[in-house]
Amino acid sequence: MDWDDDSGKQELMPEVEVEKVSLRDFIVPAKVSAFVKGYVPCSEGDDGYEMFDDARLRELFKAYVCSLGDPLSLYVDDLKMAGFQMVCSIVTGEPCIFARKRG
């Protein structure tokens, strides 16, 4: 092959924009909405309270760490905007969200 010969050059393809995938793409807003419709925020010890710790929230939302990060952090942020606060349990010392089923 002659290196000075231009006949073998390939034409460059035009640049194509590819959307970046973000952690937010893995969040299912309907899951947050369903939780908010099914539960109300409460405190530890309130009648009918349930404790949603890290493991329970991960299972509930199917929010497992992936190469883009931890989707649970976004679910917790979305729940916080709906009034659910992550606090430390006085019983276990573990951070969790306390909620009770809407009645």
Name the pLDDT band for 16 (thresholds 50, 70, 90).
confident
Inter-residue contact 96 to 53 (CB < 8 Å): yes
- The mean pLDDT value for 32-47 works out to 97
Q: What is the per-residue pLDDT across 53-70, written as a single tens digit (0 to 9) for each?
A: 999 999 999 999 999 999
- Can you tell me the mean pLDDT for 5-16? 66
Average pLDDT of the residues in 32-37:
98
Confidence tier at 18 by pLDDT (50, 70, 90): confident
- The two tokens of residue 30 are 């309907």
